[in-house]
A and B are shown apart, each in its own frame.
Chain A
Amino acid sequence: MNARILALHGGLLALLLVLHFVLPVYHHGNLARIMVLACYAIGYNLLFGYTGLLSLGHAMFFAAGMYGMGMPFHHLGLGAELAFLAGIGTAGALALVVGLLALRTLGVAFMIVTLMFSQAFYLMILLAARWTRGDEGLVLAGADRVLFGLDLTDPDIRYLLALGLFALCLSAALWLVRRPFGRVLVAIRENPERAELLGYDIFRHKLAAVVVSGMFSGAAGAAYGLMFGYVGASFAEVHFSIFPLLWVLLGGAGTVIGPFFGVLFMFYLIDISSGLTPAYMLIAGVALVLLTLFAPQGLAGEVRRRWLRWLP
């Protein structure tokens, strides 16, 4: 692999490891959350940034991962390791079904179809309140949250596991987008008709992108539930589909490193403003409008356009 690409992404991971030892408790906890959410953003970006498919329903994949992990964990006493895999599997299966249906549409219709499926999924969580406890959600018992002997209630372990997951997602995304598969996704984004006439099966590539993206999102959802001990319907709400779009737009669609910075900035922006007003989502709204108007490339996108054309 290209040395500067390796240096940049490896450097970020090394920096995050160093921060583990120096950050004050509050920011240390925040960064653990940010890294898990960045996995969600990376997954979203594979579909939106690389394949050019704008989903407004990714919360269903995040929540499918979370509930797919949380329900067997809570009700059946499944171990954390298997429950985590069950979460990813659930998200992947849901993504396959949604993809098979939604990919029959394009553009605006695709956005609305994904929005509607996600809303239906959210409502189903509420409907199945007997098992999901509806709005209240499930609190996962701390004593059971042990992954390979590591206690997930310990903030230090949580941070390092979050870093591990983030490192995994970042490298997997980097590997994927530089492989022929990722190049074809970009080709589909740029000119689907041309890509088809180069012999690529557009539908199958898009479907694979939806499934992979859904599994990344599901992994983030499962990890989030496991690490922070809570599985709630609010993670399936519309907001939670808009957030990854916002993060990726802000960080830079179609860049591997951008989503992390998108989450980082947005997290702190909302963290600061929610201290000032209950109407903190105002920030999200203003950011969305300003980004679409003035910086559709996002942070990393601008950096790539101006200085680093090699940025993957």
Chain B
Amino acid sequence: MEFGPHLMLAALEGAVTAAVLALMAAGLSLVFGVMRVVNVAHGEFYMLGAVLAFVVAGMAGGGAPGFVAALVAVPLIVAALAVAADRAVLRRLSYDPERTIVATIGILYILQQLALMGYGPDARPVAPPFNHRIALPWIDWGAGGPVLTWPWGLSITSYKLFVIGAAATVLAGLWLLMTRTRIGLVMRATQLDRETAQTFGIPVGRVYALVFGLGAGLAALAGVLIVPIQQAHYLMGGDALLLSFIVVIIGGLGSLPGTLIAAVLIGLSDGIISVFFSPTLAKIIATLLVALVLVFRPQGLMGKPAR
């Protein structure tokens, strides 16, 4: 394949990564934005989404109905689990930033190891509900002007397009929820000033539980969507956490639009970089980038400096 089509393919693959990443990072960013805590267990909610998708799809008889069942039920199950974790642990720590990180590291291990015990060490796939190969055209400049060609290998599946579409829909829904509804208003009020929100009668405790559940649900949804492309494995949360950290930090902690832009940027560049570089080198560059952004530009590349 020539360079141009190659790049286009990488960009398309990157768009799938970006879609899943945007969902996950939006969850992490929401939790950080409203609750001011970093949830290190976020990657495990994503892993649980994938693993439970395998379980639920199997119970519902597999195939398209199984996948739909997983798509609906799994984010809800994981969100409920997260709410329980919030009630049982985070609330008791009064959301102290440092102790919360330590506790969520504990939750990370608990979830990951429970998945290992219950699900086992194998990676397992879930069949996509539909999976048509869609060949993509490329324009070559021939002797007589532009010619439409169909390079071999330049294609995407209908399922991957569905993932991109589904993520975009959910994120648009999240944006509407945050900007157009009462619940969104309450969340933003809590984000701006916890104490004032409390004196105005906002049940901050319940808002926190809701936000934590919503954040985990988004990660789980990303997990469900990815299983037909990448298999479910109990250790898959680590890399996903790292990537969403990168996205959230570069996008500016707690800013949803910044997070989305960064997800697209990182998703695309991750796809493109790993085509041309070794994935390890790409990861080294990415981790160092996060560290250096935090050191030299803590408000994120797209955020505004603090007042």
Contact = CB atoms under 8 A, between A and B. Distances in A.
B295 A105 contact: yes
A108 B38 contact: yes
A119 B278 CA distance: 16
A16 B216 CA distance: 47
B199 interface: no
* Residue among A105, A124, A292, A293 with the highest chain B CB neighbour number at 10 A: A292
Interface residues of A, number: 41
B108 interface: yes
A288 B89 CA distance: 11
A304 B281 CA distance: 47
Contacts of B108: 285
Contact of A284 (B109, B281, B287, B298): B109
A286 B284 contact: no
Contacts of B111: 285
A16 B111 CA distance: 37
Contacts of A290: 106
Contacts of A120: 284, 287-288, 291
Contacts of B106: 284-290, 292
Number of chain B interface residues as a range: 35 or more
Contact of B288 (A107, A116, A245, A280): A116
Interface string B10-50: 00000000000000000000000000001000000000000
Contacts of B292: 101
B98 interface: yes
A304 B79 CA distance: 41
A281 interface: yes
A285 B280 contact: no
A292 B99 CA distance: 6
A197 B86 CA distance: 39
A120 B245 CA distance: 14
A285 B112 CA distance: 9
Interface string A87-112: 00000000000000110110111011
A296 B98 CA distance: 12
Q: Is the interface of A mostly helix, strand, loop or mixed?
A: helix
Contacts of B294: 105, 109, 112-113, 116
Given A119-B242, A123-B287, A277-B117, A286 B110 contact: yes
A113 B113 contact: no
B44 to A, nearest CB: 10
A282 interface: yes
A242 B105 contact: yes
B121 A289 contact: no
Interface in B275-307: 278, 280-281, 283-284, 287-288, 290-292, 294-296, 298
A249 interface: yes
A281 B249 contact: no
Contacts of B281: 127
A24 interface: no
A115 to B, nearest CB: 8
Nearest to B288: A120
B148 to A, nearest CB: 42
B101 A111 contact: yes
A149 interface: no
B177 interface: no
Nearest to A102: B295
A287 B109 CA distance: 10
A228 interface: no
B109 A281 contact: yes
A187 interface: no
A292 B284 contact: no
Contacts of B183: none
Contact of A282 (B38, B110, B278, B288): B110
A296 B99 contact: yes
B103 interface: yes
A289 B109 CA distance: 10
Contacts of A281: 109, 112-113
Contact of B280 (A107, A126, A286): A126
B102 interface: yes
B93 interface: yes
B291 A117 contact: yes
B299 to A, nearest CB: 11
Given A119-B287, A127-B284, A292-B102, 9 more contacts: A101-B291, A101-B295, A127-B280, A279-B116, A284-B106, A285-B110, A288-B109, A291-B102, A293-B92
9 closest residue pairs by CB, A with B: A285-B109, A288-B106, A282-B113, A289-B106, A285-B110, A116-B291, A279-B113, A120-B287, A292-B103
22 contacts: A54-B98, A56-B101, A101-B292, A104-B295, A105-B294, A111-B98, A113-B294, A116-B288, A117-B291, A123-B287, A238-B238, A242-B105, A279-B113, A285-B106, A285-B111, A285-B113, A288-B102, A288-B109, A292-B89, A292-B93, A293-B92, A296-B99
Interface of B: 38, 89, 92-93, 97-99, 101-103, 105-114, 116-117, 121, 238, 242, 245, 249, 278, 280-281, 283-284, 287-288, 290-292, 294-296, 298
